Chains A and B, each alone.
Chain A
Amino acid sequence: MIPSAQAGPESRPATDAEPDGSTPLRLQVNGRYREVVVAPATPLLTVLRNDLGLNGPKYGCGLGECGACTVLIDGIAARACVIPAGGVTGRSITTLEGLGSSDAPHPVQQAFIDAQAAQCGYCLNGMIMATVALLARCPRPTDTQARDALAHNLCRCGTHIEILRAVQRAAELTARATADAGRLTESPE
């Protein structure tokens, strides 16, 4: 079991700007408004992981090169390690946790589980988030489109083949989920 403090010392209540330059920031994360008191230049990744206790986005390079920290901002893939938290107030931030849970995974998460698309899994967050963003603008990506979209998400274990299969599976599951949702809304009941 991993010890996980629910409310660490960093989850302080919001107050006025503090002498050390930290200021209250209101962030919309996974559909909820969260207030944190941090220096506005603090990387969004640090705030998500340390102040909001989220595990999905990972620290990989701090330079936006590897994609392990990927989140969605207003539905667009973004590299949380290079984005100052103060720069994304008022925008909608989605992390891996905001997609689904292990009991009720998002279709893209389910596709990655189905395709067994992880070895160590450290890059997996970025692969899933990038795939969600890809499918939102390109619901049926070709193999080339998938490779292009993930070209700057690094994987060292060499899970690329399984990840590319997962992207195709994700496209199927997403299409199916969309169709199901369509049927539900059309249904008189």
Chain B
Amino acid sequence: MTPRSQSPRTRADFHAAAGVLVVVREPPPPPPPARGQPPMVPGDPAEGVEILLAVWDDGSVTALHGHVDLGTGIRTALAQVAADELNVAFDAVTMVLGDTACAPNQGPTIASSSIQIHAVPLRLAAAQARAWLVERAAERLGVPRDDIHIDNGVVAVHGDPARRICYADLVAGEHVELRLDPDTRVKPPGRHRLVGQSIPRVDIPAKATGGDVYVHDVRLPGMLHGRVVRPPYVGLDAGEFVGNSLLAVDESSVAHLPGIVAVVVIRDFVGIVAEREEQAEAAMRELDVRWRPVPGIAGLDDLEHALSANPSTRRVLAERGDVDATIAGCARPMSRTYVWPYQLHASIGPSCAVADCRADRATVWTGSQSPHVLRADLALLLGWPNTAIEVIRLEAAGCYGRNCADDVAADALLMSRAVGRPVRAQLTRAQEHTWEPKGAAQLMQVSGGLDGEGRAVAYDFSSSYPSNAAPTLALLLTRTIEPRPIAFEMGDRTAVPPYAYPALRVAAQDMAPILRASWLRGVSALPNSFAHESYVDELATEAGADPVEFRLRLLDDERAIELVKATTERAGWRRHTAPQGQQSDGDLLKGQGFAYARYIHSRFPGFGAAWSAWVADVEVNRLTGEVHVRRVVVGHDAGSVINPAGLEHQVHGNVVQTTSRALKERVAIDARGAPEPREWGAYPILSFREVPVIEVLSMPRPNEAPLGAGESSSVPGTAAIANAIFDATGVRFRQPPFTPEVVRAALGVPPPPRPPVTDTPSRAQARAAIAPGRRRRWWGVAGAFAAGLVGMVAAVVGQRPALAPVGPSDPALFTVATLERGRQVAAAGDCVVCHTAPGGIPNAGGRAIETPFGTIVTTNLTPDAETGIGRWSYAAFERAMRHGVSRDGRHLYPAFPYTYFTKLVADDMLALYAYLMSQPAVSNRVVTTSLAFPFGLRAGMALWNALYLDPGPLAPDPARSAEWNRGAYLVEGAGHCGACHTPRNAMGAERRGDAYLAGAVVDGWEAPPLAGLSHAPVPWSVDELERYLRDGHTLHHGSVAGPMAPVVRELATLSAADVRAMAVYLASLAAPAPDEKAAARATVAASIATAATIRGPGQRLFEGACGACHHDGAGPVLLGRNLPLALHSSLHGARPDNLIRVILDGLGEPATRELGFMPAFRDAMNDRQIAELAAYMRERYAPAKAAWAGLDAEIARLRASGSH
């Protein structure tokens, strides 16, 4: 049975219930206005008193708290606090967190204050309830209060355990409401039973088994799915263009899509609501929205300058001594600048919300960290009172600050209001990445120095933090609020250093955001401490002192001193006064670094949370520049600890996340001035392989108050790592992230040697690689020539006669054997590949094929009388196949490969006719191909045929085996391999001689050179060719893609003997393969050796976006084939086309299922990124080949040519 503690949903339910003891409090008075701080929304008097705790007559307890569990475990820890104070069993307590209809308003879940500050009222309420229950029990049992004790909600008389009464009975039939008494006495530390225990988290079993946990899991009857289209001013939220840039939305652009319910447009807010999620997603991509030109952000590649130039107001936080004079008098003055990059919250799940908006009430399910603040925003958005909106808080992917959770809740509400039904809004990965309020860049400038004795005497610090609370996006897009630049006063967190510098001045340069930005774990404290702890380390080096000893001289906080000593002792701190640069095996330099901080939260002077100290051990690869944090010993003093295992887990998480931010994370800005990363390859985070060994030292402080814990341990981390890198290399890094390219540049490492390029591009390849613009001109010249020629000839030759239409064929006339033979000829000839439109009915025609002469549309091959070939006689069919003339006498274009089909023997030709005529007739009138002059004059093809058509069957070669001859017949006849794989001349005819099978570009894909001209690193053998044609992939050559995939699907329906014969013939065209396996091994080994030397953005894109499926063996085994890319033809060719096409459009319909599927990166990466990725892949997998030239232009061209 559901315990009563889980039944009430609103405050009124608590007030109306019988059999309950409730502890309430007056809503605290609105907080005093504080400039530039995270918003607090005052309690609404209409909602009455706030409920903190309820003890029910079934023994269950409801405990309420205004904060939410962001994955930090406060649901469990707060239940421990309440249960302990009440003396009930842990699992008697149900925690209600954040729901606006019943939880107290305690502001946003920020500043590590859920336990340290906001658990206090709950704890008092539990103590007060216990006191009331004890009083009542003593009365009932007729004994003085001192004579009883409580155990798990049962009150019993000392020495007479039979005389007992339980909490449930004490509240039965009652409705008691107690006003919170702030003077209630809570338990002394020694009496805790649950507090201090590592109680397992209550939320994990459901999370591990797929329970209903997350806001993403909400499913309502009649629920629709919403997507948003965001404006082009990506990641910007201030400026007149915000909410003012939409020109038009063309709804007809999605009219052809199924399931669209509404397109919701309110100024710059554009949402799409559909019956199904994938329908909304498709419409989001296809909706034609036109915007005014908008600005981007310029100059963010130089953050120091950008932040210096951003308008600011100086706010001096602390000043002692004569700073200027002291610095002027320093024996060794030292000025330093530290710069923090823009970073992402990078929640693993993009934000999601569900809204159900009715006429005058709305319910919103959200993963927000600030439900009460969100409710006020939503009320503002709709112009409704707060009380008309209920915000129900469910778990979401960890946010570590302000991500898009609030934004998407408002999006869902606008869409639900528009359609009058519940709507689930889900942001895409790219939207979350680009639009989330970033963790702000930050500029820290320090002046100071040492006196003659090497003592630190002055510290002049200023910090610039362009961040605010990031107003909920829909409010701005709809222009419900004005998009003004709002400066917050949040750069002051831990701005004052912990060291007793005799002369000190600390100032915050308060400034509005540049990019949309808001708090991320550590807020401004983490960058501020990076500066404090780097600078003091630099001073120590300057003074020739050990960095830890130097700090201890400047510390006067006893708890800090104890922590520093304990942590360094545990870590085995190696005392040193200069960089040690210990070299370990080979190219790895080892170093050790220290840093300490106490996180000071909230507006200056704020309040201190836990103390934290790090000793980091790093290894720096002096060739690649890669930094690995090997071990972190982190000391921690959080006062008394509610849940030690939970705290340790939080510290682990903060160490990992901080290491990730220090080594890897930076939001790059693209050419438009917008945040560039749209997926994880461009914003990598620490992976399992990179996670350090972490040792946590928790200072025993059972008698101290509990302090905000986990986040504190992130604060000193980056400086500890930078200090360790300095110890290893002697080079200071003052701007994270410490990526390999940054480290290499600072160390002055020359680029790694590359194997010599062995291929000198042939003339054909060189020609293939010339810029497309030039190629077009070349075709243009050819076209002009052809125009004159064809025009003249057309006038002379004229059209061929029409052949009379016939009645429908009767398939019963054909034998089963004939039909099967015809099917095989059709399969060998891949008729269906060209004669089927994308997504269309097989053989019904309509596929547009791009040729240098114009677009050719394939015809309907089904026996439909009006639109297909239903009225074609066999003679007409055969004439078309052998001579390229249509039934009506018009010439066909040689895009239809009749120059090959003419080789068919009569029996095959007849069988093919029989087979096609036996297929279902499909009425599908395709557009008639109409090429521009002169190619539009079809009669000119007569001359072409005279020049290039060699009609009639192929003569077998008696010197060759029957298998070879069969293969030749299939390849040179129905199979028409050369039609794609042979380059064509200016007249569109295949070139002969050496050019045969020399490779060509067809329909935007490269049909690579075959036979002796193949650029594959391993020569093709018969077996490999057979496997490739049959399975669509081989170990030594990779997999098929593009137009070859459907060819392989067709070949799969041929007999094994025929496929083998084709392989035998094709293999015979080249010299026999030497030791294939040895060649393959050598190629792979060369690639692996190269891979180890390349570290940089291209490598990271590959690792993040491709590495899960494509790796050299040490990685996950996922569905599909992980074929060695080092052997893949597409990496070794002269042209990057096929690789780029696959990156852009993925493999949604692989040749065979076992290949697996690949997603399209068209919308996730820009041209520059794909160029970087392709260049990396070329360098890594084909190290002996020349780099591809002009990648950016090639990618732009292929992207514009659309997906195929």
In the complex, B222 has a CB within 8 A of chain A: yes
Given contacts A5-B220, A158-B656, contact A121 B347 (CB under 8 A): no
Q: Evaluate contact between A79 and B649: CB separation under 8 angstroms.
A: no
Q: Evaluate contact between A118 and B204: CB separation under 8 angstroms.
A: yes
In the complex, A159 has a CB within 8 A of chain B: yes
What is the chain A residue whose CB lies nearest that of B215?
A2
In the complex, B209 has a CB within 8 A of chain A: yes
Given contacts A66-B680, A152-B1108, contact A87 B1153 (CB under 8 A): yes
Q: Evaluate contact between A122 and B397: CB separation under 8 angstroms.
A: yes
Over the window 653-668 of chain B, the binary record of Cβ atoms lying under 8 Å from chain A Cβ atoms (1 yes, 0 no) is 1111100100000000
Given contacts A46-B278, A55-B211, contact A2 B1118 (CB under 8 A): no
Choice from A38, A63, A112, A119 contacting B208 with Cβ under 8 Å: A112
Choice from B687, B1116, B1159 contacting A63 with Cβ under 8 Å: B1159
Q: Evaluate contact between A87 and B217: CB separation under 8 angstroms.
A: no
Q: Evaluate contact between A60 and B1116: CB separation under 8 angstroms.
A: no
In the complex, B681 has a CB within 8 A of chain A: yes
Given contacts A65-B1108, A130-B1116, contact A109 B398 (CB under 8 A): no
A149 to B1114 CA separation, bound complex (whole angstroms):
8
Interface of A is mostly: loop
In the complex, A169 has a CB within 8 A of chain B: no
Over the window 1096-1117 of chain B, the binary record of Cβ atoms lying under 8 Å from chain A Cβ atoms (1 yes, 0 no) is 0000000011011100001111
Interface centre among B347, B365, B687, B1104 (most CB of A within 10 A): B687
Given contacts A4-B218, A65-B1108, A159-B653, contact A20 B396 (CB under 8 A): no
In the complex, A25 has a CB within 8 A of chain B: no
Q: Evaluate contact between A156 and B657: CB separation under 8 angstroms.
A: yes
A64 to B1104 CA separation, bound complex (whole angstroms):
10
The interface size of chain B toward A, counting residues with CB under 8 Å, comes to 90
What is the chain B residue whose CB lies nearest that of A145?
B1114
Q: Evaluate contact between A105 and B1148: CB separation under 8 angstroms.
A: no
In the complex, A15 has a CB within 8 A of chain B: no
Binds A, one of B381-389, B501-509, B688-696, B746-754: B688-696
A161 to B216 CA separation, bound complex (whole angstroms):
26
Binds B, one of A94-102, A171-179, A180-188: A94-102
Q: Quick one: which of B1112-1164 are within 8 Å of A by CB?
A: 1114-1120, 1146, 1148, 1153, 1157-1159, 1161, 1164
Given contacts A4-B212, A10-B275, A122-B398, contact A60 B349 (CB under 8 A): yes
Choice from A50, A101, A102, A120 contacting B276 with Cβ under 8 Å: A50
Given contacts A2-B217, A61-B679, contact A79 B1118 (CB under 8 A): yes
Over the window 8-43 of chain A, the binary record of Cβ atoms lying under 8 Å from chain B Cβ atoms (1 yes, 0 no) is 111000000000111000000000000000110111
Over the window 173-216 of chain B, the binary record of Cβ atoms lying under 8 Å from chain A Cβ atoms (1 yes, 0 no) is 00000000000000000000000000011011111111111101
Choice from A8, A113, A164 contacting B219 with Cβ under 8 Å: A8
In the complex, B839 has a CB within 8 A of chain A: yes
In the complex, B976 has a CB within 8 A of chain A: no
Q: Quick one: which of B1003-1038 are within 8 Å of A by CB?
A: none
In the complex, B989 has a CB within 8 A of chain A: no
A138 to chain B, nearest CB (A): 9
In the complex, B71 has a CB within 8 A of chain A: yes
A160 to B657 CA separation, bound complex (whole angstroms):
10
Q: Which residues of B contact A100 (CB under 8 A)?
A: 209
A163 to chain B, nearest CB (A): 8
Choice from A58, A117, A125, A161 contacting B691 with Cβ under 8 Å: A161
Q: Which residues of A contact B478 (CB under 8 A)?
A: none
A84 to B694 CA separation, bound complex (whole angstroms):
41
A7 to chain B, nearest CB (A): 9
Q: Which residues of B contact A118 (CB under 8 A)?
A: 71, 201, 203-204, 207-208
Q: Evaluate contact between A63 and B1115: CB separation under 8 angstroms.
A: no
Q: Evaluate contact between B649 and A150: CB separation under 8 angstroms.
A: no
Q: Quick one: which of A35-78 are within 8 Å of B by CB?
A: 38-39, 41-43, 46, 50, 53-56, 58-68, 73, 76-78
Q: Evaluate contact between A158 and B654: CB separation under 8 angstroms.
A: yes
Q: Which residues of B contact A58 (CB under 8 A)?
A: 214, 216, 348-349
Q: Evaluate contact between B275 and A9: CB separation under 8 angstroms.
A: yes
Q: Which residues of A contact B210 (CB under 8 A)?
A: 54-56, 95-97, 125
Given contacts A60-B348, A84-B1157, A158-B653, contact A2 B218 (CB under 8 A): yes
Given contacts A64-B1109, A67-B1108, A118-B204, contact A151 B657 (CB under 8 A): no
Q: Which residues of A contact B660 (CB under 8 A)?
A: 158
Q: Which residues of A contact B275 (CB under 8 A)?
A: 9-10
Choice from B209, B349, B681 contacting A122 with Cβ under 8 Å: B349
Q: Which residues of A contact B204 (CB under 8 A)?
A: 112-113, 116-118, 121
Choice from A63, A116, A120, A133 contacting B396 with Cβ under 8 Å: A120
A95 to B208 CA separation, bound complex (whole angstroms):
11
Q: Quick one: which of A134-155 are within 8 Å of B by CB?
A: 134, 137, 146-155
A2 to chain B, nearest CB (A): 4
Q: Evaluate contact between B653 and A119: CB separation under 8 angstroms.
A: yes
Q: Evaluate contact between B1157 and A82: CB separation under 8 angstroms.
A: yes
Q: Which residues of A contact B349 (CB under 8 A)?
A: 58-60, 68, 122
A70 to chain B, nearest CB (A): 9
Q: Evaluate contact between B208 and A158: CB separation under 8 angstroms.
A: no
Interface of B is mostly: loop
B1154 to chain A, nearest CB (A): 10
A137 to B204 CA separation, bound complex (whole angstroms):
26
B526 to chain A, nearest CB (A): 15
Given contacts A5-B223, A43-B278, A95-B210, contact A148 B652 (CB under 8 A): no
Q: Evaluate contact between B209 and A137: CB separation under 8 angstroms.
A: no
Choice from A113, A156, A163 contacting B348 with Cβ under 8 Å: A156
B12 to chain A, nearest CB (A): 18
Q: Which residues of B contact A161 (CB under 8 A)?
A: 652, 656, 691, 694
Q: Evaluate contact between B1159 and A123: CB separation under 8 angstroms.
A: no
A189 to chain B, nearest CB (A): 31
In the complex, B113 has a CB within 8 A of chain A: no
Q: Evaluate contact between A151 and B1115: CB separation under 8 angstroms.
A: yes
Q: Which residues of B contact A39 (CB under 8 A)?
A: 278
What is the chain A residue whose CB lies nearest that of B654?
A158
Over the window 254-278 of chain B, the binary record of Cβ atoms lying under 8 Å from chain A Cβ atoms (1 yes, 0 no) is 0000110000000000000001111
In the complex, B972 has a CB within 8 A of chain A: no
Choice from B208, B350, B426 contacting A109 with Cβ under 8 Å: B208
Q: Evaluate contact between B1108 and A64: CB separation under 8 angstroms.
A: yes
Q: Which residues of A contact B653 (CB under 8 A)?
A: 119, 157-159
Q: Which residues of B contact A63 (CB under 8 A)?
A: 429, 679-680, 1105, 1159, 1161, 1164
Q: Which residues of B contact A121 (CB under 8 A)?
A: 71, 203-204, 207-208, 213, 395
Q: Evaluate contact between B657 and A59: CB separation under 8 angstroms.
A: no
A54 to B208 CA separation, bound complex (whole angstroms):
13
In the complex, B394 has a CB within 8 A of chain A: yes
Q: Evaluate contact between A55 and B656: CB separation under 8 angstroms.
A: no
B616 to chain A, nearest CB (A): 15
A-B contact pairs, 16 of them (CB 8 A): A10-B276, A50-B277, A55-B217, A59-B350, A66-B348, A81-B1159, A83-B1157, A102-B209, A121-B71, A121-B204, A133-B1117, A151-B1107, A153-B688, A158-B686, A163-B688, A164-B688
9 shortest interchain CB distances as A-B pairs: A158-B656, A120-B71, A20-B258, A158-B653, A152-B1108, A120-B398, A121-B207, A78-B1119, A56-B210
Sample of 18 further A-B pairs with CB below 8 A, known A4-B219, A158-B653, A158-B657: A2-B218, A3-B218, A3-B219, A50-B219, A59-B350, A59-B426, A64-B1109, A77-B1119, A109-B208, A109-B209, A112-B208, A116-B204, A120-B348, A121-B208, A153-B688, A155-B348, A156-B347, A156-B398
Chain A contacts to B: CB under 8 angstroms: 1-5, 8-10, 20-22, 38-39, 41-43, 46, 50, 53-56, 58-68, 73, 76-79, 81-84, 87, 95-97, 99-102, 105, 109, 112-113, 116-125, 128, 130, 133-134, 137, 146-164
